[in-house]
Homo-oligomer: A and B are copies of this chain.
Amino acid sequence: MTDPLDLDAFRENGYQLIDWIADYLGGLEDRPVLEPVSPGDVRAKMPAAAPRTGEPFSALMRDLDEIVAPGMTHWQHPNWFAYFPASSSPASILAELAAAGIGAQGMLWSTGPAITEVESHVLDWLVDLTGAPQNWKTTSTGGGVIQISASDSTHTALVVAREECRKRSGASAEQMVAYTSSQAHSSVEKGAIVAGFGHIRLIDVDEEFAQRPDALQAAIEADIAAGLTPAFVCAAVGTTGTTAIDPVRAIGEIGRAHDMWVHVDAAYAGSAMMCPEFRRLQDGLELVDSYTFNPHKWLFTSWGCSVFWVADRKPLIDTLSIAPPYLRNAATDSGDVIDYRDWHVPLGHHFRALKLWWVLRSFGVEGIQSMLRAHISWANDFATWVEDQPELEIFAPNPLALVCFRHRGGSEATQALATAINADGSVYVTPSLIGDDAFIRVSIGSTSTEQRHVLAFQEKIKALL
């Protein structure tokens, strides 16, 4: 009988699993990105009931090989060009292990001082590293917190915006309007629905798919004339469809002029701000109330790491703070500490900062910059290659490492090409649509992707034309 609490067995099992992960990551190139799996295949391999008595660790490891890996879509694959990357790294994987091993929970400063302070400190580092306004630091009026996803960050911003608007104007949520571009991520619309906004306006975009400030201004004026109350506007720095760049300064000025909460969704593009040459893409941040970006997309940090900054933490804490007796403690009462329970919807707060800290230290700032610049340079080369193909054309600008292209034969030919590219599972791209126009998104940024993978991908496309 195995003792599930035996720490010597934990050591042996742990070494085995570390080896399994190294073999898995090192061997991804020999697997398809998309395993050939149909709905129900995975469940069919699992027993109908949980076991009555404990199973040995070898059975769990066996099922990693027999059930999990062959039922997976391999996000860490070097031929991952789909969606945006979920770029992990060895330091991040080990930080997840360390956080799980420590098994602590920092809802309050007092329930995990190091969880709270490492997070505040590392997010203050990131203010400097991304050129964000100095008042976003926890040592100033603002501060950062790690949420699980950009959806959570944006939903939180919407809730605070709603409460601020209610206090200021007396309007009900049903009378409030949230604005974002027609190309914004679905999380903005979903967050507004979840937060109970009565109206969501998807603002027209220009020929480069960026939000049009004149259209935003006109929509706001029309809503005010109709008796509604503009409450929230989101500028996307890097839309999900094409990484279009909304003009933050112009949108921020309009938002400020109407006392609205101004939020920036830079979920993907925010990581690029580690390189100073891209910061022009988000000029105007001093006009912004909140900002989110996801290190779990393109900063080599495992999933579940969305940075959420506010310029002023008071409205956030005013909205989200509830203090029942069992959470009272001397440190909180002193006012000298951050209690992250008041910065998001969940009460509990995980040690997610550990992975961000370890990634920054393991790569160093220059190491990260050189990875990001390589991805962007390979994307530029790929875009140039697309332009050279008589059958293909670029669909949208590629300011960073997402290239959007299409077949000159039209949407049907484009969709057929996407299907053909994904057919054997060896690479994975995301087909998409704007209106009726089909295009193919090629996102370069998986941690394990090398230039040779992009070049081989080009050859694969070439062969399908």
Task: Determine if A327 is an interface residue (Cβ-Cβ < 8 Å).
Answer: yes
Task: Determine if A363 is an interface residue (Cβ-Cβ < 8 Å).
Answer: yes
In-complex Cβ contact of A101 among B24, B304, B319, B362 (8 A): B24
A302 to B110, CA, bound (A): 20
Task: Determine if A57 is an interface residue (Cβ-Cβ < 8 Å).
Answer: yes
Tell me which of A24, A89, A93, A122 has the highest count of chain B C-beta atoms within 10 A of its own C-beta: A93
A43 to B37, CA, bound (A): 48
A153 to B7, CA, bound (A): 33
Chain A, 347-358, contact with B by CB distance < 8 Å: what is the 0/1 string? 110100010001
Task: Determine if A364 is an interface residue (Cβ-Cβ < 8 Å).
Answer: yes
Task: Determine if A120 is an interface residue (Cβ-Cβ < 8 Å).
Answer: yes
B325 engages A432 (CB within 8 Å): yes
Task: Determine if A391 is an interface residue (Cβ-Cβ < 8 Å).
Answer: no
A52 engages B97 (CB within 8 Å): no
Task: Determine if A228 is an interface residue (Cβ-Cβ < 8 Å).
Answer: no
A327 contacts across to B, CB distance below 8 A:
186
Tell me which of A112, A345, A363 has the highest count of chain B C-beta atoms within 10 A of its own C-beta: A345
**Interface positions of A from 26 to 52, Cβ below 8 Å from B:** 26, 34-35, 37, 39-43, 46, 49-52
A304 engages B114 (CB within 8 Å): no
Task: Determine if A464 is an interface residue (Cβ-Cβ < 8 Å).
Answer: no
A174 contacts across to B, CB distance below 8 A:
172-174
Of A68-76, A204-212, A215-223, A374-382, the one contacting chain B is A68-76
In-complex Cβ contact of A326 among B2, B68, B241 (8 A): B241
- A115 to B, closest residue via Cβ: B72
Of A8-16, A282-290, A451-459, the one contacting chain B is A8-16
In the assembled complex, how far is the CB of residue A112 from the closest CB belonging to chain B, in whole angstroms? 5
In the assembled complex, how far is the CB of residue A360 from the closest CB belonging to chain B, in whole angstroms? 5
Task: Determine if A104 is an interface residue (Cβ-Cβ < 8 Å).
Answer: yes
Task: Determine if A263 is an interface residue (Cβ-Cβ < 8 Å).
Answer: no
A94 contacts across to B, CB distance below 8 A:
10, 13-14, 17, 57
A334 contacts across to B, CB distance below 8 A:
39
Chain A, 301-340, contact with B by CB distance < 8 Å: what is the 0/1 string? 0111000000000000001101111110001001011000
A304 to B430, CA, bound (A): 30
Of A190-198, A230-238, A252-260, the one contacting chain B is A190-198
Task: Determine if A292 is an interface residue (Cβ-Cβ < 8 Å).
Answer: no
A91 contacts across to B, CB distance below 8 A:
4, 57, 60
- A92 to B, closest residue via Cβ: B100
A365 to B94, CA, bound (A): 30
**Interface positions of A from 264 to 288, Cβ below 8 Å from B:** none
A64 contacts across to B, CB distance below 8 A:
98
A20 to B100, CA, bound (A): 12
A75 to B351, CA, bound (A): 12
In-complex Cβ contact of A14 among B97, B103, B324, B434 (8 A): B97
Chain A, 99-120, contact with B by CB distance < 8 Å: what is the 0/1 string? 1111111000111111111101
A199 contacts across to B, CB distance below 8 A:
none
A148 engages B151 (CB within 8 Å): no
A83 contacts across to B, CB distance below 8 A:
111, 326
A34 to B13, CA, bound (A): 30
Binding site for B on A (CB under 8 A): 2, 4-11, 13-15, 17-22, 24-26, 34-35, 37, 39-43, 46, 49-55, 57, 59-60, 64, 67-69, 71-76, 83, 86, 88-94, 96-105, 109-118, 120-122, 125-126, 128-129, 148-152, 155, 159, 162, 172-174, 185-187, 189-191, 193-196, 240-241, 296, 300, 302-304, 319-320, 322-327, 331, 334, 336-337, 345-348, 350, 354, 358, 360-367, 430, 432-434, 441, 447-448
Can you pick out 9 interface pairs between chain A and chain B where the beta carbons lie within 8 Å of each other? A10-B21, A10-B90, A34-B110, A39-B331, A54-B367, A60-B91, A72-B112, A172-B172, A173-B173
- Which 5 residue pairs of A and B lie closest in terms of their CB atoms, listed nearest first? A71-B114, A21-B101, A14-B18, A42-B117, A96-B100
